[in-house]
Every structure is written in structure tokens, then in C-alpha cells.
């Protein structure tokens, strides 16, 4: 029998088919932390140009921001297996095409054409969350909270160990090894995941656009009109900017100290803190409105993100590592609560699309944060340590948007209550007459 503090997770995976779809899904999404590093190592080994490698990876990221929500919408409409398998196949062809173009010395424009195909990569993490939502239909159930916490911890582990595995493969075997292994894991994991049809949510036909019911639009039209989703996406984008800036600035800070090789270890402390907090957060019984909890989590994240800024003032990686560990502990609760809120405001017929939009906003923020953090490390002050103001500012902006969204939702709920009670009183008066 598992220890008492792990029983919520044991009960979660006691659901029929839960473990069968979770394991291959983890395999399928692990390469999301591998492909970026693998492409950079592979391209720089042939061209010795980080600018070229970075622009190729950035191109894939930008195109993914456009294509991924469309793929997710197809998943909602036609089912996970019918869309995920061909979409993953196209993405794998793109990664292998990039590998061959680099290996054979093809013109560099072919790199950009190849990376375009990888934009069809489906959001396997979102599909796994959709399966939990199908198995656990009550949005506020404690087990749904445990499931979301587990999924966020898996994301953190993928981002923590994926780049490490890719770097080891590319440097100890051959430069293309990371891409090959990542492509095999993604294709094999997706095929095994899609084969688990018993837990797959049924496809939802397109719903006509209509007025919001209970604060949630009925599902048609532009997803940005879904009540409450726009402010969530802005918060996710700011959180992504925090991640992207923190990574670049930490590497620059370590490089200035002459310890660039330790930058990965220091950044892993942040991911480790987040993964640990995510698992622990799943064991906490929560109350109150989800949006209010989300605002508190983002505010806590903003407060803790001042620690790396303070630690950088010492000029020592020895102090930065524990600061990032503590700062990371607010990340997973924020993401868990945010994804729960996305599931809450998004109509069931568009659940994959809503979660993919959240991930896309996060990735777009990462790209913006990376660029801003790099500029700040080079130009903001005499030391790269000044660049830590960028993630601090991004976290503060995220908190501002989240708190404003919570206050706006509270006012909307109060207005709805007043209108509902007024309608009830009017109906009672009419019946008495």
C-alpha cells in the first residue's frame, strides 16, 4: 500500500485505462524539451552559427503558434486518434527532413522549409488533460485537481530533463542523435497513446456561435470571445516571458562568472522546485473560487521571482541556485490553477483548442522573453545581472492581469446574482397578482 500522502495519486491511476494512456503520453511529450537543443547543436556543428540555429528554431516556434490551435480544433472535432497520428507523422517528417538537410549540406533555406512541417505537432499534454476531464467530469472534483497537478509536474520534468538528454546524446554520440531519438519517442509514444481508445473523449461537433451561458460562450466563433479566456492568455504569455527571460539571463550571468557549464544545473533547480511543488500542490484540498486562487498563485509567483533578482546582486551562482529553487515553487501551482481555469471557461466542445491556445500563449511569451532577456543582459547595465529585472517585470505584469481578471469576474458574478434575484422577485410579484 502506498504511503498516505501518495494515496490521492494511487486513487487517480486506479481508474481503468488511466495508466495505459498516461505512460505513452509522457513518452510522446518528453521530446518537447529535446528538439530545440538538438536542432541548435546539430546546426551549429555544421555551420558554427548560433544566429542561424536560433532563427530556424524561432521560425518553427512562430509558425507553431499559428498552426497548433488549428490542429487542436481538429482534435476536438474529429477525435484525438484520427488527428494526432497524421499530425505527428508530418511533424516527424519535418524533423527528419531538417536532419537530412543539415547532414547533406543542403542550402540553408531548406532548413526553414523543413521546420515549417514540425508546426503540426499536436499538443499531447492537452490531449492527456482532456482525457482526465472526460474521466473526471466534475470540474471542481479533488481528483481533477490531482490530475492537473500531475500533468503540470510531467511538463516540468520534460522541460527539465529533455534538454539534458538531448545534450548528452548530441555530444556523446553524434550531433543528429538528439533529433533521431526525439522523433522516435514522439512517434512511438503518440501511436501507443492513440491506440488507447477506451479513454478517448468523443469528438464534439462544431457548435453554433451563441450568447454566453453562465459566463461561458457556447463554443462557436472566435475563441478569444470565450468569457475570461483573453485575460488568461495574456497572463500565460507574461508567464512565458518570465521563463524565456530567466533562461537567457541566467546563462549570460553564469557565463560572466566563468561557469557557463553550470548554467543548466542552476536552471534545473527552478524546474525541480516547480515539479516538486506541483506534486505537493495536488495533495492540497482547495476551496474558494478558482479564479481567485489563480490570482493568489500568480501574485505569489511575482513575489518569489524577486529572489533571483536579489541573489544576482551577490554575483554568485551559489546564491542564485537556491533562489531559483524557491522561485520555481510558485510556478507549478500557477500553471495547475491556470489550466484548471482554462478547462472551466472553455466549452467542452473546444477543450483541446482552449488548452492549446494557453500553451501557444506560453510559448509566444517564451520567445518574447528570450529576446528581451538577451537584450537586457547585453545592454541593461554593466552586468548581465541587470537582466533579471525582465522576468521580475513579466511576473508583476502577469499578477496585475490575473488580479484584474479576478476582480472583473467577481463584479460580473455579483451583477448576475442581482439580475437573477431581481427576475425572481418580479416573477413572484407577477404570480401574486
How is domain 19-204 classified at the architecture level of CATH?
Up-down Bundle (1.20)
How is domain 212-433 classified at the architecture level of CATH?
Up-down Bundle (1.20)
The C-alpha angle with vertex 18 and arms to 14 and 24, in degrees rounded to 5, equals 140
List alpha helices for 201-289, DSSP H: 229-256, 263-281
Query: Quick one: 213 exposed, middle or buried, by C-beta within 10 A (0-12, 13-18, 19+)?
Result: exposed
Picking from 60, 77, 67, the residue whose alpha carbon sits closest to that of residue 122 is 67
Provide the whole-model pTM.
Answer: 0.69
In angstroms, the CA 220 to CA 206 distance is 7
Residue 270 grid coordinates: 527552478
Q: Judge whether 19-204 and 212-433 match in fold.
A: yes
The C-alpha angle with vertex 233 and arms to 228 and 234, in degrees rounded to 5, equals 105
Every domain of the chain and the residues it spans:
19-204, 212-433
- Which residues lie closer than 8 Å to 267 by C-beta, 6 or more apart? 246, 247, 250, 251, 324
Residue 383: alpha-carbon gap to chain centroid: 30
Q: What is the pLDDT along the chain (433 residues), one digit of tens a residue?
A: 556 556 777 888 888 888 888 899 999 988 887 787 788 778 877 887 666 776 787 778 778 878 887 888 888 888 888 898 999 999 999 999 999 998 888 898 999 999 899 989 888 888 888 888 888 877 556 777 788 778 877 877 787 677 777 777 887 888 888 899 999 999 999 999 999 888 888 876 655 444 343 344 444 455 555 556 778 888 888 888 888 788 778 877 877 777 666 766 777 777 778 777 777 776 776 666 777 888 888 999 999 999 998 988 887 778 888 898 888 888 878 887 887 788 777 776 676 677 777 877 887 787 777 777 777 777 776 777 888 888 899 999 999 988 888 787 777 767 766 665 655 555 455 545 5
Amino acid at each position: 500500500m502506498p504511503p498516505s500522502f501518495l494515496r490521492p495519486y494511487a486513487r487517480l491511476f486506479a481508474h481503468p485505462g488511466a495508466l495505459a494512456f498516461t505512460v505513452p503520453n509522457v513518452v510522446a511529450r518528453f521530446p518537447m524539451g529535446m528538439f530545440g537543443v538538438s536542432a541548435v547543436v546539430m546546426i551549429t556543428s555544421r555551420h558554427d552559427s548560433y544566429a542561424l540555429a536560433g532563427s530556424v528554431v524561432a521560425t518553427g516556434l512562430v509558425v507553431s503558434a499559428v498552426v497548433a490551435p488549428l490542429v487542436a480544433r481538429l482534435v476536438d472535432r474529429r477525435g484525438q486518434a484520427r488527428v494526432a497520428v497524421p499530425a505527428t507523422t508530418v511533424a516527424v517528417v519535418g524533423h527528419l527532413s531538417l536532419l537530412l538537410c543539415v547532414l547533406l549540406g543542403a542550402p540553408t533555406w531548406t532548413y526553414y522549409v523543413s521546420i515549417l512541417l514540425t508546426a503540426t505537432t499536436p499538443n499531447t499534454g492537452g490531449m492527456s488533460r482532456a482525457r482526465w476531464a472526460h474521466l473526471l467530469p466534475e470540474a471542481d472534483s479533488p481528483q481533477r485537481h490531482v490530475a492537473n497537478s500531475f500533468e503540470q509536474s510531467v511538463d516540468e520534468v520534460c522541460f527539465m530533463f529533455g534538454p539534458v538528454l538531448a545534450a548528452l546524446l548530441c555530444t556523446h554520440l553524434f550531433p543528429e542523435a538528439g533529433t533521431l531519438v526525439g522523433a522516435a519517442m514522439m512517434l512511438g509514444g503518440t501511436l501507443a497513446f492513440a491506440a488507447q481508445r477506451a479513454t478517448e473523449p468523443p469528438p464534439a461537433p462544431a457548435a453554433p456561435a451563441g450568447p454566453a451561458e453562465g459566463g461561458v460562450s457556447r463554443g462557436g466563433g472566435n475563441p478569444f470571445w470565450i468569457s475570461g479566456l483573453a485575460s488568461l492568455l495574456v497572463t500565460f504569455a507574461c508567464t512565458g516571458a518570465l521563463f524565456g527571460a530567466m533562461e537567457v539571463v541566467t546563462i549570460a550571468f553564469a557565463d560572466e562568472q566563468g561557469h557557463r557549464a553550470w548554467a543548466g544545473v542552476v536552471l534545473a533547480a527552478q524546474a525541480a522546485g516547480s515539479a516538486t511543488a506541483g506534486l505537493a500542490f495536488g495533495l492540497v484540498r482547495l476551496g474558494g473560487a478558482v479564479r481567485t486562487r489563480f490570482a493568489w498563485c500568480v501574485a505569489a509567483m511575482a513575489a518569489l521571482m524577486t529572489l533571483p533578482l536579489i541573489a544576482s546582486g551577490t554575483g554568485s551562482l551559489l546564491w542564485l541556485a537556491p533562489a531559483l529553487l524557491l522561485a520555481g515553487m510558485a510556478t507549478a501551482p500557477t500553471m495547475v490553477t491556470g489550466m484548471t481555469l482554462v478547462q472551466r471557461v472553455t466549452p467542452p466542445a473546444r477543450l483541446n483548442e482552449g488548452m492549446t491556445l494557453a500553451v501557444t500563449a506560453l510559448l509566444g511569451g517564451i520567445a518574447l522573453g528570450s529576446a528581451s532577456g538577451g537584450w537586457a543582459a547585453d545592454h541593461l547595465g554593466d552586468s548581465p545581472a541587470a537582466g533579471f529585472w525582465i522576468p521580475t517585470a513579466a511576473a508583476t505584469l502577469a499578477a496585475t492581469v490575473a488580479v484584474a481578471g479576478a476582480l472583473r469576474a467577481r463584479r460580473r458574478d455579483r451583477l448576475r446574482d442581482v439580475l437573477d434575484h431581481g427576475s425572481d422577485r418580479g416573477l413572484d410579484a407577477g404570480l401574486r397578482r
